[in-house]
Amino acid sequence: MARREPPDGPPTVRRGRGPGLPPVCCDGRMTLIKINAITVPDEAGDELAHRFAARAGAVDGQDGFEGFELLRPTDGRNQWLVVTRWRDQAAFDGWVASPAFAHGHAGADRPAPHGGPVSIGSELWSYEVAGGSAGRAADSAG
């Protein structure tokens, strides 16, 4: 871990989150986490994953975008999580207002191959990182 002196406060600790991922904090600024919790019928999970795979990388060039994961439930839940990381709220808002957002969500209501919906609801959650640990893999990578 490298200690950095921000211009107007005590030192902050810069922690990595693994290879290729940005630090959780840098110069006192925290990454914004947006989680879209999508309720997916049991028979539609593979179709949801397929649709996300077909658009992989589509948001990578958006200003302020730091990363994305699609999390498939492994404990019997039917709620999938789309976890995105953004520089700040303005960057996220810029993406939501962009033509790329509209294009990426066009056809989201298209039925799954089985004829039913791919999702039956969703909630948008917002978080900032309040603490954590990088783990041993991050220590050996730097």
Give CA separation, 71 vs 37, 49, 77, in Å.
10, 9, 12
**Domain-embedded: residue 124:** yes
**pTM here?**
0.73
**Domain-embedded: residue 20:** no
Domains held by the chain: number: 1
**Domain-embedded: residue 18:** no
**Domain-embedded: residue 100:** yes
pLDDT of 50: 93
pLDDT of 1: 37
CATH number at residue 124: 3.30.70.100
pLDDT of 116: 87
pLDDT of 139: 61
**Domain-embedded: residue 9:** no
**Domain-embedded: residue 21:** no
> pLDDT tens digits, residue range 53-66?
988 888 999 999 99
Those residues of the chain that have pLDDT short of 50 are 1-19, 23-27
Q: Counting every residue, how long is the chain?
A: 142
H or E stretch at 47: helix 45-54
Residue 36, beta-bridge partner list: 82, 124
**Domain-embedded: residue 24:** no
What's the rounded Cα separation, in Å, for the pair 107 and 119? Answer: 12
**Domain-embedded: residue 4:** no
Q: Which domain holds residue 116?
A: 30-128
Enter the DSSP assignment of 71: E
Asked if 106 and 55 count as a contact pair (C-beta separation under 8 A), the reply is no
